[in-house]
Amino acid sequence: MSNFGKLVNFEFRRFLPIFLPLVGILVLSQVIGAIVFSMRYLSDMERYLIQGQRTTEDFILEFGKLSMMEVVNSIYFMGPIGVAVVSLLIYLLFIWYRDWIGKNTFAYRLLTLPTNRLNLFFSKASTIFIFIFGFITIQLIMMPILQFILKLFVPVDYRLDMALGAMVQANYFLSILLPQTISGFFIHYGLGIVFTIGIFTMVLLERSYRLIGIGFAFLYAIIVCTFIFTPYYFQYFFHLYTHEAFWLETSVMIIISVLSIWLSSHLLNNKIRV
């Protein structure tokens, strides 16, 4: 456990220089977005009022009050989230491949550490999910701050305040990241775990068998995707109850995860040589 903790800390420090700029971009972009939407709303209202015999009530009836719904669905809000998602997807590969970069590949030093090689696998996966939940936590903290910015600029009569849950549901992508039900949380993040473990296993297949390993990796991906969509097939054709579909999906994800971890352990211990 001590060695595993050291490996997680090591991977954490390696990813921190990437994570912090992503957080900085998110905070800066979303704060700018909240200010821009506030100023634009007031500017639009001012232009509307000077056009003729119109009142603020007429403007609100025609355009509505300003709320966080406009902010969370804007490029200012979604742009940095998209950048973070793409960066994380790239890092799923980079977290392994950078250990093989260079003449004296660092991967071989890691593989000779006096610890179970599977700890390398779990430490990298743990690091990925630490930063995923860290990023989501920061986003949740930011949303009330963004609404506070709206309150600073826009008077209460022209503003529609929203609860945190309503802000999340106002954006489709956020509603996926933060589902309202416990079952939805387990399914969404269970799929995320399966996806992460699957990518890691594909990388290890390629590293173990090189050129032919690419073919093995794609074959593995096809098999996993086939099994992942099996519960949806059953639900569509056999009209399963919600709890039946949930347990079927959970069972499939557990089976895929266990088999993927077993295969990864086999590759790390028997196929990847130092």
The structure tokens listed for 249 are 């999906």
Residue 106 · residue 274 · CB < 8 Å: no
Strand-pairing partners, residue 160, are: 67
Residue 65 · residue 159 · CB < 8 Å: yes
pLDDT tens track of the chain, all 274 residues?
Answer: 577 888 888 888 889 999 999 999 999 999 999 999 999 999 999 888 888 777 888 889 888 899 999 999 999 999 999 999 999 999 988 888 877 775 556 677 777 776 788 888 898 899 999 999 999 999 999 999 999 999 999 999 999 999 999 999 998 888 888 888 888 899 999 999 999 999 999 999 998 888 898 999 999 999 999 999 888 888 778 777 888 888 989 999 999 999 999 999 999 888 776 5
Number of H helices, E strands in the chain: 11, 2
Nearest C-alpha neighbor of 216 from the set 227, 225, 207: 207
DSSP 116: -
Residue 150 · residue 159 · CB < 8 Å: yes
